[in-house]
Amino acid sequence: MLTSTRLFVLAGMVMALQACSKDNDIIDNGPQPGTGAPVETVNPNTGYAPAFPGQTRVNSATTTTPYNFTVLTSALASPWGMTVLPDGRLLITEKEGSMRIVTTTGSVGNAITGIPAVNSTDQGGLLGVTIDREFDINRMIYWVFAENAAGGTLTAVAKGKLSADETTIEGATVIYRAGPAANSTLHYGGRILMDATDNLVVTTGERSILATRPSAQDVKTSLGKIIRINKNGGAALGNPIFAGTGALPELYSIGHRNPQGIAFHPITGALWQSEHGPRGGDEINRAKPGYNYGWPVITYGIEYTGEPIGAPIQQKEGMEQPKYYWDPVISPSGMTFYKNNRVPEWENNLFVAALSGQHIARLVIHNEVVIGEERLLGGEGQRFRDITQGKDGALYAITDAGRLYKIDRQM
């Protein structure tokens, strides 16, 4: 078991201020803004100007409470998603098609059987996972995976019951398929959460290739979207109605590229989302029902070849601006809000697993504005794929190399 510790000297007291707006959007108790130089020091790929101050390269923040991180296990095989079981153990998906239950001391269970076949080529595989709010009663699990289909592959959502002995998924059923299928093995999206109304929120990618890229703006497809469905796969009640003939009723928001992270704010319940940009233009969005997030019409990134994307423009009426973006990219994947006071300055902060960035980004947010950024575990040399908070209040993060980290206040 590998352990490392970060110690800091307390830098003063943080004044407790409660901020609220006319729509009662109280999001924290007055976090301390960053005061240091931005954490990003590499030149951006573009000369694009942000839409507002602090939209990128905000001042850096520093955790002052002593904390440590521990590698609980390195025995996982390309873990992708995880969720917390009622007893505190972690249910983790592995890209090739397995689920395993892992204890918070690092004991890894056997592969759970009964899961439909996945296409694990490139960015495919067994992806995000969540459990039913009444799991103690019904033992239902919901997950996202890349599925083979006529015409290529697609992002699929399935559900099934974890057997009493935790060895198999019983009655696994595909409840939703994000069509149309594409001849691509990239940009599946793949995160899934259950919202406060017991409906499922799922992210889908626009599948990367130029032929499908415009689908992110097409309300007749579910590519490049956040969708909201019920537990049987039908459109959830209360979804927004998008203009246009044939608009799908399951759409929640549109104009996304490859959204690999979603999280609900612990106080407001607002949905936030992370999204991979191309060369530059990774985004953090406050995902609102019925809104258009612009891809591929507006972006703060460029093609991998260095060519501009589209016009190119970064702002357009009717299209939402990201709350924050990175250039160069960090490849933001899974994310979670911290809902504990064990590390007081982390309360209600957003923690984002960064793949190419090889760190965990801590974003300090106040009134839906990012006011500070910190990079954690940057010396580990790991592609962080997902992060969540455990029942014990600690953060748990998985990496592509198979590690499970525990991050918590030093006791």
**pLDDT tens-place string over residues 189-199:** 999 999 999 99
What would the mean pLDDT of 378-387 be, rounded to a whole number?
Answer: 98
Indicate whether 301 pLDDT > 60: yes
**How many whole angstroms separate alpha carbon 398 and alpha carbon 82?**
8
The reply to whether omega before 180 is within 30° of 0 (cis) is: yes
Average pLDDT, the chain: 93
Mean pLDDT confidence for 122-144: 98
Q: Which helix (H) or strand (E) holds 135?
A: helix 135-138
> For the residues 333-345, what does the mean pLDDT come to?
96
Residues 6+ apart with CB under 8 A from 38: 57, 58, 59, 60, 373
pLDDT band per the 50, 70, 90 thresholds, residue 183: very high
The pLDDT of residue 12 is above 80:
no
d(CA 79, CA 336): 17
Q: Kindly list the catalytic residues.
A: 187
Alpha-carbon distances of 153 from 112, 115, 145, 147, 235, rounded to whole Å: 24, 17, 10, 5, 22
Q: How far is CA 311 from the centre of its chain?
A: 29
Look at the block and give the residue holding tokens 């690999």. Answer: 260
Domains of the chain, first to last: 36-409 (2.120.10.30)
pLDDT at 297 over 60: yes
pLDDT over 80 (residue 325) = yes
Rounded mean pLDDT, 360-367: 97
Query: 3-class SS at 235?
Result: strand
Beta-carbon contacts of residue 221 (< 8 Å; ≥ 6 apart) = 179, 180, 215, 248
Parallel, antiparallel or unpaired: strands 332-337 and 350-354 = antiparallel
pLDDT at 7: 33
**Residue 28 pLDDT level (bands cut at 50, 70, 90):** very low
Q: What is the mean pLDDT of residues 177-194?
A: 98
pLDDT in tens, 259-293: 999 999 999 999 999 999 999 999 999 999 999 99
**What CA–CA distance (Å, rounded) separates 226 from 251?**
6
